Amino acid sequence: MRQHHLLCRSNIDIPENMPRPESEFPPRMKDHSLINFVTTTTSSKKDLMDLQLARYIFSTNTPFAAVEHPEFVKFVQMLLPGYRLPSRHQIGGTLLDHVYDQIHEDCRQRLQDKTVSMMLDGWSNIHNEPVICVSVVTSDGENYLIDTVDTSGYSHTAEYLQSVALASAQLAEQRFGCKIGSLVTDNAANMTKMRRIMMEDGNEIITYGCSAHYLNLLVKDVEVADVKGTIVTINKYFRNVHLPAAWYKSNGGKKLVLPIDVRWNTLSDCFQSYLDNWSIILRTCEEHRTDIDTEIFSKVQNISLKRRVEEYLMLIKPIAVALDKIQNDSTTISHAVEIWKELEQTYIDNGCTNILGKVRIRAKQALTPFHLLANLIDPTCSGKSLSNVEIDIALSYLLKIMNMHFRL
């Protein structure tokens, strides 16, 4: 067949001027480059991707070594084969510095020429080293961490804390261009004394204690220790002991809450969870009476204890509601006055006059003349809940401020 084909083609005479038929196939491309078949990453695009990856790692507290984990590397290569991941040393070095500079500049632009409130609080880091964190909040409710002070080797006296506060205020003005108008702290004895010293020194910064912290102290003021301890013991038993926890859960019991000192309102949640699930706890005890701890069984059966928990919850529930309101992002110090007033009225309406004295003591500690003045001039409040004495205090404070600034 091949030989016949060759002989046939050789015997055909094709005139030289006859147009040749075009091939049914397109001409072969002259560009033999593989660029269209390779995924590439430009230098500028890689820089942007490196920065975004670094921001993700910093914001989620992910270990820097995660970028070198084989499975993560494989995942990124599947997404974008042309991208080369930065090393953990780059993440913790140049990229960390770059992201810090970006965020610092962004904060400076947002805080420039604004009057803000500064918050001061002490913490311990993961190495149990004492640290004071300094943050500011704007009138829009935006929070910014501006400094952390390592206080190792220093006693937290009122005088030392005052020096930290004033240095931080100066730092905020120099680095971020904002003016510190007020300072709020917790109500530990050293912090309270520090605020008093700053007021006596005639400092222009207004100082006051955190109302949420005062409300938490009020909960402790009305605390009934034996009731709290008993309910915590019962809740722990049906949460942490394996068999009772399994029996309780199989009967439809919901999660029981334990109080945590640094998480306010968890004591109220603890009592509420016990009362909500009391019938299930009791049924679990009766179904497994030979296996349940006898002391726990006895406490659960104690109707008098249940009644005391209900009464105790009635006392602290209004405080829990006030705490939720005062910790709302939109709450201002003028609204704080209203919340304290509402709390006092709630106890009057409920006939709980036995703790009114404690409520008023904490309210007096929390509400300064500045709070009263803010409530008076706030259009949403207009001082409607203030007494005549409180209005006089607010106006006297206003006159004092005017004399200070305008030398009347």
pLDDT at 43: 86
Q: In this model, does residue 405 exceed pLDDT 80?
A: no
Most confident of the ranges 107-111, 197-201, 259-263: 107-111
Q: In this model, does residue 180 exceed pLDDT 90?
A: yes
- pLDDT tier at 199, thresholds 50, 70, 90: confident
Q: List for the chain the helix, strand, coil content (%; round to 5).
A: 60, 10, 30
Q: Tell me how far CA of residue 346 lies from CA of 363, 381, 390, in angstroms.
A: 14, 19, 20
- pLDDT tier at 225, thresholds 50, 70, 90: confident
Q: In this model, does residue 39 exceed pLDDT 80?
A: no
Mean pLDDT of the chain: 88
pLDDT at 318: 94
Task: Provide the token pair at 41.
Answer: 């990453």
Poorest-confidence range of 18-22, 132-136, 206-210, 321-325?
A: 18-22
143 versus 8: the higher-pLDDT residue is 143
Q: In this model, does residue 235 exceed pLDDT 60?
A: yes
- pLDDT tier at 127, thresholds 50, 70, 90: confident
What is the rounded average pLDDT of the residues 234-246?
A: 96
pLDDT at 100: 94
Instruction: Give the contacts of 47 (CB within 8 A, at least 6 positions apart).
Output: none
Q: To 5 degrees, how large is the angle CA 305–CA 310–CA 312?
A: 90
User: Please, which residues bridge with residue 4 across strands?
Assistant: none
Alpha carbons 334 and 364: distance in angstroms, whole number:
14
Task: Provide the token pair at 356.
Answer: 């009114």
Length of the chain (residues): 408
What is the rounded average pLDDT of the residues 154-168?
A: 93
Q: In this model, does residue 361 exceed pLDDT 80?
A: yes
What is the rounded average pLDDT of the residues 165-187?
A: 93
Ordered by start, the domain boundaries in the chain are 42-102, 112-209, 222-403
Task: Supply the DSSP symbol for 42.
Answer: -
What is the rounded average pLDDT of the residues 182-204?
A: 90
Q: What percent of the chain has pLDDT over 90?
A: 71
Bridging pattern class, strands 179-185 and 130-137: unpaired
Give CB contacts under 8 A, 24+ apart, made by 53-61: 53/85, 53/86, 53/91, 54/86, 54/91, 54/95, 54/96, 54/98, 54/99, 55/99, 57/91, 58/96, 58/99
- pLDDT tier at 22, thresholds 50, 70, 90: low
Q: In this model, does residue 358 exceed pLDDT 60?
A: yes
Residue type, 221: D
Bridging pattern class, strands 206-209 and 130-137: unpaired
pTM for the model stands at 0.79
Greatest alpha-carbon pair distance for the chain in Å reads 126
pLDDT at 264: 80
- pLDDT tier at 125, thresholds 50, 70, 90: confident
Nearest Cα to Cα of residue 299 among 314, 287, 281, 312: 281
Task: Supply the DSSP symbol for 260.
Answer: B
Q: In this model, does residue 124 exceed pLDDT 90?
A: no
pLDDT at 34: 53
pLDDT at 28: 57
How far is CA 177 from its chain centroid?
A: 25
Q: Was domain 112-209 assigned CATH 3.10.20.600?
A: no
pLDDT tens, 82-120? 899 999 999 999 999 999 999 999 999 999 999 999 999
Q: In this model, does residue 374 exceed pLDDT 70?
A: yes
- pLDDT tier at 68, thresholds 50, 70, 90: very high
pLDDT at 330: 85
